Structure 1
Amino acid sequence: MKSRRLSRMAAALSIAAICCGSTAANAKDSLTMMLNYTVNGAVAPFYLGKVKGYYDAEGIDLKLMEGHGSGPTVQAVATHNVDIGYADFSTMVKVAAMGAPVKAIGVLMQENPTSVVGLAEKNIKTPQDIKGKTVAVAPGDASSQLWTMFMNKVGLKDSDFKTITGNPQTTINAVITGQADLLVGFATIPLISVEQATKKPARAILFADYNVNVATLSIIARDDMIKDNADLLKRFMRATAKAVNDSEKDPAAAVDALLKTLPAAGSRDTMIRTLKATIPFYRTPDTEQAPIFHVSTKNINDSVASIVQYSKLDPSANVPAKYYTGAFVP
């Protein structure tokens, strides 16, 4: 890795040597990160960090790429197509359990926003109200995996309701058009999308309220990056923590930074609302007063145990240290 600082030069060095040294000092480490999905308000903190120069100050030239779901993002990291990713923790655990050399180095969303979401007029307030309804689910999506855990926890069976399937956007459209009463998804973008399209209030039954919580969106890195580029990852996490802290204090400024970079990314108001809805999930009651990214050991251990159990992985896969390291958290 290139040095971030020049050593002190002796006065006897030639002017030419000094000029060459200055060029080396200004060189930045390139780092490419793939997001979990298309650009939206929830990822605005990364753009704020770029616009405010936090990554530059750490000697990093950060390139952000849109994703197409956590699965493809984790695979892109594992196969060296990108350096790091922002993806769902449970998706990463399942891929890593099958041999992919990836690990989370920072958990941003420590409480899971997965819910069943529907229009308030459907009067679905408790899990038992789901019986007899039509639920839209995206198979393989991170949220759908928690759905099984939730059903077991609250005593629901597949026969209690009708299921229709599609991709995440299809599930949102199904609720908007009335094909489904509910969708399984985050209580952030899907809920906001339903409300905006229908001009009606929506409601979410949050799985975490029923003790179904698995750490979710995280920074994912390959094992070789962790071993060979530890200093770069520490600098990245330090800059990102600053950007997230600023975004918590002023979500609108974070969204403005995103739109400064990508003016056609979407509605400013929608993005601000999305980021504001996302921020409460950065911490759990155990880490309410902790710095950003400081996830509890219990959360990691419980998350891994639940993922291994409900994803029907081999019990030997229940090794939290295989999937997470806190060594890079500032």
Structure 2
Amino acid sequence: MFKKKSTRMALAAAATGAALLLSACSGGAGNDAGATAADGEMTDVTLMLNWYPYGEHAAFYYGVDQGIFEEHGINLTIEAGQGSTKTTQAAGQGQVDFGWADTPAVLSNIDKGVKVHSVGVFLQTTPSAVQIFTDSGITKPEDLKGTTIAVSAGDAPTTTFPMYLEAAGLQESDVTQQNLDAAGKMAAMINGQVDGLIGFAHDQGPTIAAESGKDVTYLRYSDVGLNFYSNGLIASDSMISDNPELVSAMVAATSESFQAAIDDPEGAVAAMDGKDPQMPDADVLAEQWAGTIELLQSPTDGEVTPGVNSTTDWENTISVLAEAGLIDEAKPVDTYFNADFQPGGAE
């Protein structure tokens, strides 16, 4: 079980991405994938993130730093990503061994024929939120009437925004939406061109606060009862069928790394130092990681072993995403999630 820590939430940087080697050898997709620590051998494994490294990813760096992945026979190389869709497709095409991706993007790509499955969602409470400066005087959803909010067409927070407004007792027409890309949203908010933005509360917020010198308030989707799964570990169907021992080892090592990083947040953030030139400052990383910790609990089961998923939460996620139009229809859970690798043998 993990201990909740208090916090605000945070950002991801943007820029040009190259692989981040956290071991002496670079791993190729499926390279000697059957080896585990049990036989004394190491397997080179590549993991592609959902974006350039930010505080949410501290657990992976800490797991490498503390030898957790090594204990499971994994020689881990972390690669920056450029969005969950690209990460999902790279995993499906065997360009990387595993991906770390947002569940709405994973499900949408599976429906489009990409051969991957989730093997464990870690961010089980959605980080989706309307983010506004605290000095704006906006403290509750009703205060959004008449505001202009920056959005990014097609992403999960934007697509589900009408559902948030409805749950909060508002009409979609109560808010003007301005479509911008991720960097444009942040700049527009900082420069006062919009009243706020929609995004991941543990992602942009701490960076906006650091750059502006102003506090940020979050109106979270989950606060009005709207929730769906976010980021987690994915593997290709061929990896799952051909190398189940490696998948099991990767899920277990990731779960243990998250727990270790929860128990030592300062050490987890320190493990990211110098790993990528695009990485935010340490204080921003710390807020991002603290914000991530708050998202790891299950909406129905509360505190759980990191990466353990319930059928109920999966069904709710699928239902919400189908209603929002991010997937065509609500399909059975096993269409998207393989439960065979849950940490500790949990359901």
TM over 0.5: yes
Deviations 1:178-233 (CA, angstroms, capped at 9, x unpaired):
01101001112222122112211111101001111001001011111111111001
Distance 1:97 1:2, change over 3 A: closer
1:149, 1:310 within 8 Å by CA — same for their partners in 2? yes
Q: Which moved more, 1:109-118 or 1:77-86?
A: 77-86
Look up the SS of the partner of 1:281 in the other structure: coil
Identity, % of aligned positions? 28
**1:174 pairs with 2:188:** yes
For 2:215, give the aligned amino acid.
Answer: P
Task: Give the distance between the partners of 1:220 and 1:310, measured in 2 at CA.
Answer: 22
Task: Give the distance between the partners of 1:264 and 1:179, measured in 2 at CA.
Answer: 25
* Structure 1 position 90, deviation (Å): 1.0
Distance 1:263 1:176, change over 3 A: closer
Deviations 1:257-303 (CA, angstroms, capped at 9, x unpaired):
12154477331111111101110100134332421212221110010
**1:86 pairs with 2:120:** no
* Structure 1 position 167, deviation (Å): 1.2
Q: Which moved more, 1:54-63 or 1:261-270?
A: 261-270
Structure 1, unaligned stretches of length 5 or more? Answer: 7-24
2:51 is matched with which residue? 37
Task: Give the distance between the partners of 1:35 and 1:210, measured in 2 at CA.
Answer: 29
Task: Give the distance between the partners of 1:136 and 1:269, measured in 2 at CA.
Answer: 26
2:283 is matched with which residue? 269
* Structure 1 position 140, deviation (Å): 2.0
1:67 is matched with which residue? 81
1:124, 1:130 within 8 Å by CA — same for their partners in 2? yes
1:184 is matched with which residue? 198
* Structure 1 position 144, deviation (Å): 1.6
1:278 is matched with which residue? 292
Task: Give the distance between the partners of 1:220 and 1:144, measured in 2 at CA.
Answer: 23
Task: Give the distance between the partners of 2:105 and 2:79, measured in 1 at CA.
Answer: 19
Distance 1:263 1:71, change over 3 A: closer
Matches for 1:51-66 after TM superposition, within 5 Å? 51-66=65-80
Superposition TM-score, scaled by structure 1 size: 0.89
Look up the SS of the partner of 2:129 in the other structure: strand
Structure 2, unaligned stretches of length 5 or more? Answer: 1-32
2:338 is matched with which residue? 325
Task: Give the distance between the partners of 1:106 and 1:78, measured in 2 at CA.
Answer: 16
For 1:117, give the aligned amino acid.
Answer: Q
Superposition TM-score, scaled by structure 2 size: 0.85
Structure with larger Rg? 1
Matches for 1:43-192 after TM superposition, within 5 Å? 43-192=57-206
* Structure 1 position 312, deviation (Å): 5.9
Choose from 247, 256, 269 the match for 1:233.
247
Deviations 1:31-50 (CA, angstroms, capped at 9, x unpaired):
21110111111101001111
Task: Give the distance between the partners of 1:188 and 1:109, measured in 2 at CA.
Answer: 11
Aligned length: 311
Q: CA RMSD in A?
A: 1.9
1:74, 1:85 within 8 Å by CA — same for their partners in 2? yes
Distance 1:320 1:264, change over 3 A: closer
Distance 1:264 1:101, change over 3 A: closer
Task: Give the distance between the partners of 1:191 and 1:260, measured in 2 at CA.
Answer: 22
For 2:332, give the aligned amino acid.
Answer: V
Task: Give the distance between the partners of 2:47 and 2:243, measured in 1 at CA.
Answer: 15
1:104, 1:220 within 8 Å by CA — same for their partners in 2? yes
Look up the SS of the partner of 2:50 in the other structure: coil
For 1:327, give the aligned amino acid.
Answer: D
Task: Give the distance between the partners of 1:297 and 1:81, measured in 2 at CA.
Answer: 30
1:18 is matched with which residue? none
1:293, 1:329 within 8 Å by CA — same for their partners in 2? yes
Distance 1:75 1:33, change over 3 A: same
Task: Give the distance between the partners of 2:136 and 2:121, measured in 1 at CA.
Answer: 34
1:48, 1:254 within 8 Å by CA — same for their partners in 2? yes
Task: Give the distance between the partners of 2:248 and 2:318, measured in 1 at CA.
Answer: 24
Task: Give the distance between the partners of 2:313 and 2:165, measured in 1 at CA.
Answer: 21
1:141, 1:168 within 8 Å by CA — same for their partners in 2? no
* Structure 1 position 114, deviation (Å): 0.6
1:136, 1:182 within 8 Å by CA — same for their partners in 2? yes
2:147, 2:195 within 8 Å by CA — same for their partners in 1? yes
* Structure 1 position 252, deviation (Å): 1.1
* Structure 1 position 154, deviation (Å): 2.8
1:287, 1:295 within 8 Å by CA — same for their partners in 2? no
Distance 1:4 1:194, change over 3 A: closer
Choose from 268, 291, 314 the match for 2:328.
314
Task: Give the distance between the partners of 1:247 and 1:310, measured in 2 at CA.
Answer: 34
